[in-house]
Structures are given as structure tokens and as C-alpha cells.
Amino acid sequence: MVKNIKFKNPTLFLDAFKNNNTNVFKRLYIETYSKTEAIILNKKGSVNLAKKIHQDAFLSVWMDIKNNTLSISNDTDLESYLFETSKAKWMKHISNESVKNTKPTNKKKQTIITKDGCFNIENKKLKNAVKAYRNLKQPCRELLSSIYFDRMPTEELAIKLNTEATVIKHQKYTCIETLYSKLY
């Protein structure tokens, strides 16, 4: 069993940690692991994953202390810092996992839209959007095409049309509102 070591002086605690005092390591690891495990298990993680993430966080904190990049006022602050580091590593893992689990779209069902009006449409909602776009008046179609297909900046489009950027933004808003009204 690990002794419950409390330091009144945070400098002594950090020194013990820097000097690889195994009792301090064990105490900190054990006291903070249960919190890390709980948060990971609540978010559908596994015990093995909780151990891995906590170990990574512990090493990060240890490196911060060794490199003197962490300043704490007591050992409770270090526990909080370790827990927050574990949470951050868990969130990073979740975000990376969600990226890994995304599936590419099926190439046969992918829709290709070009400026010249060539469409390969499989989706009914998209068909309706294309129909509504084609029913817009010519100035709106040209404006939206310049902004969204040509990716022309508003300021550049304003110069091209001899007007101000605010006017272009207002026209864009009006055209989009018209497009939405035709869709819904």
C-alpha cells in the first residue's frame, strides 16, 4: 500500500517528484487514476485506454516538472493539472478516433457540379436546390456563381461590378434568401 504523503511545502513535493521519489509517483498516479478512468468509461472508453491515456498524461506532467515549465502552489494543484492533462489527451483521442472512423463517400453517388451547369445528381434535396438555383434571375445566379464557384473575394467582386463591398454582401444575402424561399 502506498503511504499517503502530504507536503506542506510545494517545493519539497516538486523536489521529491523531480528526484523520482517512487512513493510520490505512486500516490499521485493512484489518487488521480480513478478520476481519469471514470471520465473515460463514462464516454464509452475502455479500462485499457484509460490506463494508456493516464500514463501519457503522467509522463507529460513529469516532463513539465523536469523541464521546470510547470509551477504549482501545492500537491493538489498537481493532481488537478494531471487530471486536466488526462482529459485533454482523452478529448484528442476522441477527435482522432472520429476522424479515423469516417467513411469516404461512394464515388458513384457523388455529385459533381461545375460552373457550366453539368450535374450528376443522385439526391432529391440536391435536385431541388439545383432547380431553385436555375430559377434565380440571372444577376443572382452570376453573383452567387462568382462568390461560391469562382471563390472571388467580396472586395474584388465589388471592384469588378463598380460598387461597394457592402452592396455585394447585401445582394448576396438577398439572393440567398430568394434561393431559400424557392426551396422551402
Span 31-73, pLDDT tens digits: 888 888 888 888 888 889 989 999 999 888 888 888 878 776 6
pLDDT at residue 180, rounded to an integer: 87
Overall average pLDDT of the 140-154 stretch = 88
Q: Average per-residue pLDDT in the chain?
A: 78
CATH class of 108-183: mainly alpha
Residue 40's CB: how many other CB atoms inside 10 A? 25
Higher per-residue pLDDT: 174 or 98: 174
Domains 10-100 and 108-183 share a fold: no
pLDDT at residue 52, rounded to an integer: 92
pLDDT at residue 126, rounded to an integer: 77
- According to CATH, the topology of domain 10-100 is Rna Polymerase Sigma Factor; Chain: A (1.10.1740)
pLDDT band for 6, please (50, 70, 90 cuts).
low
156-171 pLDDT tens trace: 989 988 999 889 899 9
Cα separation, 72 vs 14, whole angstroms: 9
Angle between helices 22-42 and 10-18 in degrees, nearest 10? 90
Higher per-residue pLDDT: 109 or 128: 128
Domain boundaries, the chain: 10-100, 108-183
Residue 102 pLDDT exceeds 70:
no
Cα separation, 58 vs 80, whole angstroms: 12
Residue 4 pLDDT exceeds 60:
no
